[in-house]
Structure 1
């Protein structure tokens, strides 16, 4: 009987030891798995300046910090601004083929790759940035995501941050005052059609030549966000700033879709969560920055002109012609979806 008891105790010891060895082995495997988690180095490229403490440059750095910290350094983000990896077209092409992981830019250069984005070239869409954000963070954004995916891109961030405004050396206080104004625009057929409909004379011109052109009177006016007006000192050669709010300036961040899809689920969550938080940060930072920049140009002597109801109605009418151009080029579907989203957001 005693021998049987010893055998039982021996068997129990063996079971405990086996359990201990299995636990140690499982722990070792878990630690090994943790140690062998894949590591990534992601390039985040933008053609805009890294200097000047701009909201775009600020949030780009924040995205780097958040992703690296939340991944415990397993995902490293290398930021390349100031056209270091090329202009807007080149970096987007690089992202498509996988040479650049992520790209931060406005929707304007993406129209060549995703024609439906021309919908954002329709002027006078959003009465204010809060309305724009409500529209672009709701169901309409979900309609954009497959368009980006078709182009090989994963849409990670999509935020309205500025408006294109008008600066001029001639006061514009009625809709008729736009007539005959020689205004520098982008070489964009929709933008040019809008200004022609207002009676202005749109003049595409290399941006690097714009300050001199304004100074010498080659053109009377230009249209850009406050940030660009301030950074390029257009207040030195322009008397008036008209808050036309005619085109919404939307910042997007996209990622190579194949790369994104290949990442572990927890890494995808880190990236998307960081982008969502960065979007909130960007929007609030840009709104505060806009107010500060407007105050700065006023201090430099610019006179601010707000649209009257008649001016707004006249510009809305001119925008309808551009809407028809966009419908002809990309179809009614995406335009109708956007107009419905705007109408619903106003309720």
Structure 2
């Protein structure tokens, strides 16, 4: 598995060079020569074959190709580099679509880090789905923030509850003391683990497995399906359900490309996105438990710790300092977004 990841990253530069060489000029020439056939749209995401973002991408591709002459070429993790690389390629117009989590977009769009304020989102799957379906913050406020970076936000959706893995079971913040916990390159996520008592250690995904294996880091967080598909339980076998948040991702387009589409093709993109969203919002509930079962079948060394309400409260008491840091980072816009976020949550939880 590790060899596959290394090789995938190694050839990323070659693939990008090939895409640039086949840029817009040649695309235009090919389109003209092959009229009335459609265009080939390039779509990259951050995960492996069969993972949530991959399923979403292929549902999008399926709809586009069944309802137009266009084709969609999907690139998985490592084929075009790391998360930062595919975002840069999308902003440059090399890619037309990208799926990237706020964990990485947070350095570009600080307000997107709101998803890393611990204990803001509930862990109940049905409630989370309703929030994403109805949230004004997501459907009205976030598109404006993404547009400022040349991105057309098409969808935000949840992938699963965040679960921590570590070199030993953890039940209280004091157990994190002295542990290097890998975080995405996201300042607020670092603040979260600092508040939890750990030493946050930003690392790109390609270095996580090896870092756990060599004890450079002693833990990390991800949804269960990613822990399973990435084999992280093999080198970090203690799974801790802290209830502190959900992994969220966003699907977006290069804005110049999107705005240059005909009204018909813009509607096609919107419809394809809605098709993929409707599928994934029903696909994710229950996925975590299915993947946990696979993990437990694969390894006798794995332990599962589900914090009780008293234990969770010890972590929850540290969340306000992360919320305060979020507002410091994002100013009035972040405060307004947080207020709307809480109002949207209240609307679906009644609390």
Supply the distance in 2 between the matched residues of 1:262 and 1:217 (Cα, whole angstroms): 49
What is the SS of the residue equivalent to 2:79?
coil
Supply the distance in 1 between the matched residues of 2:318 and 2:156 (Cα, whole angstroms): 27
What is the SS of the residue equivalent to 1:99?
coil
Supply the distance in 2 between the matched residues of 1:176 and 1:247 (Cα, whole angstroms): 20
Quick check: 1:55–1:289 contact (8 Å CA) kept in 2?
A: no
Displacement after TM superposition at 1:233 (Å) = 2.6
Summarize the Cα distance change of 1:97–1:233 in structure 2 as closer, same or farther, 3 Å threshold. Answer: closer
Supply the distance in 2 between the matched residues of 1:222 and 1:76 (Cα, whole angstroms): 37
Supply the distance in 2 between the matched residues of 1:227 and 1:205 (Cα, whole angstroms): 20
Match status 1:66 vs 2:69: no
Equivalent position of 2:223 in the other structure: 225
What is the SS of the residue equivalent to 2:181?
strand
Supply the distance in 1 between the matched residues of 2:98 and 2:199 (Cα, whole angstroms): 34
What is the SS of the residue equivalent to 1:287?
coil
Summarize the Cα distance change of 1:219–1:268 in structure 2 as closer, same or farther, 3 Å threshold. Answer: closer
Equivalent position of 2:349 in the other structure: 346
TM-score for both structures, normalised by structure 2: 0.79
Instruction: For 1:1-347, list aligned pairs within 5 A.
Output: 39-49=38-48, 51=49, 53-71=50-68, 73=69, 75-128=70-123, 129-138=125-134, 139-141=136-138, 142-205=140-203, 207-299=205-297, 300-301=299-300, 302-331=302-331, 332-347=335-350
Summarize the Cα distance change of 1:164–1:344 in structure 2 as closer, same or farther, 3 Å threshold. Answer: same
Displacement after TM superposition at 1:44 (Å) = 1.0
Displacement after TM superposition at 1:103 (Å) = 0.8
Summarize the Cα distance change of 1:327–1:269 in structure 2 as closer, same or farther, 3 Å threshold. Answer: same
Supply the distance in 2 between the matched residues of 1:174 and 1:84 (Cα, whole angstroms): 39
Displacement after TM superposition at 1:322 (Å) = 0.8
Displacement after TM superposition at 1:323 (Å) = 0.7
Displacement after TM superposition at 1:165 (Å) = 0.9
Deviates more, 1:211-220 or 1:185-194: 211-220
Supply the distance in 2 between the matched residues of 1:188 and 1:113 (Cα, whole angstroms): 10
Supply the distance in 2 between the matched residues of 1:258 and 1:235 (Cα, whole angstroms): 41
Summarize the Cα distance change of 1:269–1:208 in structure 2 as closer, same or farther, 3 Å threshold. Answer: closer
Displacement after TM superposition at 1:122 (Å) = 1.2
> C-alpha deviations, 1:245-277, integer Å up to 9, x for none?
334211211112222223222222221111112
What is the SS of the residue equivalent to 2:157?
strand
Supply the distance in 1 between the matched residues of 2:93 and 2:230 (Cα, whole angstroms): 34
Displacement after TM superposition at 1:66 (Å) = 0.7
RMSD: 2.5
Displacement after TM superposition at 1:313 (Å) = 1.6
What is the SS of the residue equivalent to 1:284?
helix
What is the SS of the residue equivalent to 1:238?
coil
* Equivalent residue pairs, number: 309
Summarize the Cα distance change of 1:252–1:205 in structure 2 as closer, same or farther, 3 Å threshold. Answer: closer
Where do 5+ consecutive residues of structure 1 fail to align?
Answer: 1-34
Displacement after TM superposition at 1:80 (Å) = 2.0
Summarize the Cα distance change of 1:54–1:207 in structure 2 as closer, same or farther, 3 Å threshold. Answer: closer
Displacement after TM superposition at 1:293 (Å) = 0.8
Quick check: 2:104–2:184 contact (8 Å CA) kept in 1?
A: no
TM-score for both structures, normalised by structure 1: 0.80
Quick check: 1:167–1:221 contact (8 Å CA) kept in 2?
A: yes
> C-alpha deviations, 1:196-223, integer Å up to 9, x for none?
2222333345544444543454443322
Supply the distance in 2 between the matched residues of 1:211 and 1:85 (Cα, whole angstroms): 19
Supply the distance in 2 between the matched residues of 1:334 and 1:311 (Cα, whole angstroms): 29
